[in-house]
Chains A and B, each alone.
Chain A
Amino acid sequence: MGHFLSPVPSKIQQHSFYIEGTITDAQVIELIRKGHTEAYGDLVRQYHKRVMGYCFSMLSNHTDAEEAAQDVFVKVYTSLNKFKGDSSFSTWLYRITANHCLDVLRKRNRRKNVSLESLVEQEGSQIQKLFATPSVADTHLENRQLADKILSTLTEDQRQILTLREAEGLEYQEIADVLNCSLDAVKGRLARARKQLQENLRHIQKSWDVSNIENKKEKGS
């Protein structure tokens, strides 16, 4: 699992402004402000994986995630003058990413709301398979769609905080900085989101077991 706020383990290219250990995000931003627009490409490369990973976890669809990640980087570029350095660049970038994905997700969820019951009915056996054989659980399209459906049973805020912690591996304090809330609020919100996810999964499991037993009885009689 990647760690958003720590620098990417170096994949530094020849043309890059990032020469290991010699230039910081703030210095690259200064270069961009002075007119070296091309330096922004290095900033994009530096954070591409983490922004893309976040968008993917929130939106569960490669095309949507890439579009959202592009939007984020364009938005960041146009508001670079607003970045005052009160927080680290990565925290600021993450805040913009988190808000953007939340907007996309809210618009999307207005169109489709997943209930636990319909999920069990339609995808019960697939969900069983997904958790029974974790080795197949990669980013394969079908599994992603299923994961998206399961995560859609949570509120957008719950999904957001879980993505920050479980997908991106942010520390609690880093999550507090990104979401602009206290450490205690993060502890509470994360515990509630995890509990909700556990309960939803248990509910799916139980309902599937019950409907499976009923089906077997019907077939037997």
Chain B
Amino acid sequence: MKHDELKVKILGLYDGPVTEKERLWAEKHLSSCADCSHAVEEYKNFAGILFALPTLSEADEDIFTNKVMARIKSAATEASQSVLDITVRWFIPLLGSTAVAAWVFFSILPNTPGLSNAINGSAFFSSDANEMNAAWSPAPASKSNEEIVVSWIKE
């Protein structure tokens, strides 16, 4: 291994998961090689600068927690509000119009003279069983099929 490569790898040996043998080797090398120990120190120095963490107080923590809890609460309120909105905007009108349609269909139309006969070709609303049978049975043929065919041939 070239020494430049070693200088990079020594960091992994220095702080990574290594065997006891590797750890001892790294320690020994660092104690005898000024170049590598300088590289490790230099890296630790600039990593400490570049990755410095913010100082946060207990007050910061409380303020932060309150903000998060407020956001969660308002999200929950919004969600329940939107369920209510959907109920008010769609479900209630839908239920109302279904009820009106059912009332018109079952109560008004059957009792309207003329209208009931016109739409009740099937005598759907009729309580008279004979009328219903009459409505559902096919119209009686005035001539049989054979008679019709014979009359065509004659023509």
Contacts and interface: CB of A to CB of B under 8 A. Distances in A.
Contact of B51 (A45, A69, A162): A162
Where chain A touches its partner, the secondary structure class is helix
Size bin of chain B's contact surface = 20 to 34
A40 B72 contact: yes
A147 B50 contact: yes
Contacts of A41: 65, 68-69
Interface in A62-112: 62, 65-66, 69-70, 73-74, 77-78
Most buried by A among B45, B54, B61, B71: B54
Given A41-B69, A53-B53, A74-B71, A48 B47 contact: no
Size bin of chain A's contact surface = 35 or more
A70 B64 contact: yes
A163 B51 contact: yes
Contacts of A137: 48-49, 52
Interface of B: 8-9, 11-12, 15-17, 39, 43, 45-56, 58, 61-62, 64-65, 67-69, 71-72, 75
Interface of A: 1-2, 11, 37-38, 40-41, 44-45, 48-49, 52-53, 56-57, 62, 65-66, 69-70, 73-74, 77-78, 130-131, 134, 137-139, 143, 147, 150-151, 162-163, 165-167, 171-173, 183, 187, 190-191, 194-195, 197-198, 201
